[in-house]
Chains A and B, each alone.
Chain A
Amino acid sequence: MLNIKNLHASVGGEEILKGINLEIKAGEIHAIMGPNGSGKSTLSQVLAGSETFEVTEGEVTFNGENLLDLETEERAREGVFLAFQYPVEIPGVSNLQFLRTAVNSMRGHRGEPEMNAAEFMKHAREVSMQVDLDPAFLKRGVNEGFSGGEKKRNEILQALLLQPKLAILDETDSGLDIDALHVVSDGVNALRAKDRAILMVTHYQRLLNHIVPDYVHVLADGKIVKSGGRELAYELEERGYGWLNVKDKEATAS
Chain B
Amino acid sequence: MKSAPTLSSVFLEPAGNYLPGPLLELRKQKGMALVDMPLPTRKTENWKYSSRHLKLSDELAVALPSPGKEGTSLSMAGYRVVFRNGVMVPEASDFPDLTGIRIQRFCDLDDQDVAVLAERLDNTLDSQTVQMARLNSARFEDGLFIQLDKEAVLDQPLFIIHEVTASSVGSAYPRIYVDAARHSQMTLVEEYISSGSEPVMVNTVTEFVLAEGARITGVRLTLEGESVQHIGATGVRQATASRFESHCVGFGGPLRRHDLQVRLEGEGAECKLNGVVVTQGKQHYDNHTSIEHIAAHCDSEETYRNIAAGQSHAIFNGRIHIHQDAQKSNANMNNKNLLLSTGAEIDTKPELEIYADDVKCAHGATIGQLNKTSLFYLVSRGVGRREANTLLTIAFINELVEQIPVEAVREAMQLRLNDFFNQTFQEA
Contacts and interface: CB of A to CB of B under 8 A. Distances in A.
Interface of A: 48-51, 71-73, 75-77, 81-82, 84, 87-88, 90-93, 97-98, 101-102, 105-106, 109, 141-142, 158, 162
B92 interface: no
A97 B383 CA distance: 11
Nearest to B396: A92
27 contacts: A48-B380, A72-B379, A72-B380, A73-B380, A73-B384, A73-B385, A76-B379, A76-B381, A76-B382, A81-B380, A84-B377, A90-B377, A90-B395, A91-B395, A92-B394, A92-B399, A93-B378, A93-B392, A98-B378, A98-B381, A98-B383, A98-B391, A101-B387, A102-B381, A102-B383, A141-B395, A162-B381
Contact of A77 (B372, B374, B382, B392): B382
A45 B277 CA distance: 36
Contact of A105 (B376, B377, B382, B397): B382
B398 interface: yes
Interface string B363-379: 00000000011101111
A93 B383 CA distance: 13
A77 B379 CA distance: 10
B414 to A, nearest CB: 11
Interface string B95-129: 00000000000000000000000000000000000
Contacts, number: 77
Nearest to A87: B377
Given A71-B379, A73-B379, 19 more contacts: A72-B379, A73-B383, A73-B385, A75-B380, A76-B381, A81-B381, A88-B373, A91-B395, A93-B392, A97-B391, A98-B381, A98-B383, A98-B391, A101-B391, A102-B378, A102-B381, A142-B377, A158-B381, A162-B382
A51 B376 contact: yes
Contacts of B399: 91-92
A142 B376 CA distance: 14
B385 A71 contact: yes
Leading 7 A-B pairs by shortest Cβ distance: A92-B395, A76-B382, A102-B381, A88-B377, A92-B398, A73-B379, A105-B382
Interface of B: 372-374, 376-385, 387-388, 391-392, 394-399
Nearest to B402: A92
B376 A72 contact: yes
Given A72-B376, A84-B377, A93 B391 contact: yes
Contacts of B380: 48-49, 72-73, 75-76, 81-82
B216 to A, nearest CB: 28
Given A90-B377, A92-B398, A101-B387, A51 B382 contact: no
A170 to B, nearest CB: 11
Contacts of A142: 377
A142 B396 CA distance: 13
Nearest to A158: B381
A75 B379 CA distance: 9
Nearest to A74: B382
Nearest to B394: A92
A101 B382 CA distance: 9
B16 to A, nearest CB: 47
Main secondary structure, interface of B, reads: helix
B387 A88 contact: no
Nearest to A99: B381
A115 to B, nearest CB: 14
B421 to A, nearest CB: 13
Contacts of B385: 71, 73
Most buried by B among A71, A90, A106: A90
Contacts of B374: 88, 90
B395 A101 contact: no
A48 B373 CA distance: 13
A92 B396 CA distance: 7
B114 to A, nearest CB: 48
Contacts of A73: 379-380, 382-385, 388
Contacts of B379: 49, 71-73, 76
Contacts of A109: 382
A111 B383 CA distance: 15
Contacts of A158: 381
Contacts of B395: 90-93, 141
Nearest to B400: A92
A105 B378 CA distance: 11
A106 B161 CA distance: 42
A49 B384 CA distance: 14
A76 B388 CA distance: 14
B424 to A, nearest CB: 17
A103 to B, nearest CB: 8
A97 B397 CA distance: 16
A97 B382 CA distance: 13
Contacts of B396: 92
Contacts of A97: 391
A50 B384 contact: no
Nearest to A142: B377
